[in-house]
Amino acid sequence: MRAIVVTNDHDVYTAAPADVSESELPAGDVIVRIDYSTLNYKDSLAITGISPVIRNFPMVPGIDFAGTVETSSHADYSPGDRVLLNGWGVGETHWGGFAQKARVSGDWLVPVPDVFDARQAMAIGTAGYTAMLCVMALQRQGVAPDQGEVLVTGAAGGVGSVAVSLLANLGFTVVASTGRTEEQGDYLRSLGASDLMDRAAYSEKGRPLAKERWAGAIDTVGSHTLANVCAATRYGGAVAACGLAGGFDLPLTVMPFILRGVTLTGVDSVNCPKARRLEAWARLANELEMSHIQLMMQEVSLADVLTLAPKQIEGQVRGRVVVDVNA
Each residue's pLDDT tens digit, 136-194: 999 999 999 999 999 999 999 999 999 999 999 999 999 999 998 889 999 999 999 99
Q: Where in the chain is the domain with CATH 3.90.180.10?
A: 2-112+293-324
Instruction: Tell me the pLDDT tens digit for each residue of 298-320.
Output: 999 999 999 999 999 998 898 89
Residue 63 near residue 87 (C-beta atoms within 8 A): yes
| Sheet of 233-241, strands arranged across | 195-198, 173-178, 149-152, 214-219, 233-241, 263-266
Element (H, E) at 144: none
CATH no. of 125-266: 3.40.50.720
Burial of 173 (0-12, 13-18, 19+ CB in 10 A): middle
* pLDDT of amino acid 215: 98
* pLDDT of amino acid 88: 96
Confidence tier at 10 by pLDDT (50, 70, 90): confident
Q: How far apart are CA 20 and CA 206, in angstroms?
A: 50
Residue 212 near residue 255 (C-beta atoms within 8 A): no
Q: Where in the chain is the domain with CATH 3.40.50.720?
A: 125-266
pTM for the model? 0.93
Smallest CA-to-CA distance from 323 within 296, 304, 295, 309 is with: 304
Looking at 141-180, list the stretches that DSSP marks H as alpha helix, in order from N- to C-terminal side: 158-169
Percent of the chain scoring above 90 in pLDDT: 93
Q: How far apart are CA 89 and CA 96, in angstroms?
A: 9
Pick the CATH number of 2-112+293-324 from 3.40.50.2300, 3.10.129.10, 2.40.70.10, 3.90.180.10: 3.90.180.10
Confidence tier at 132 by pLDDT (50, 70, 90): very high
Confidence tier at 40 by pLDDT (50, 70, 90): very high
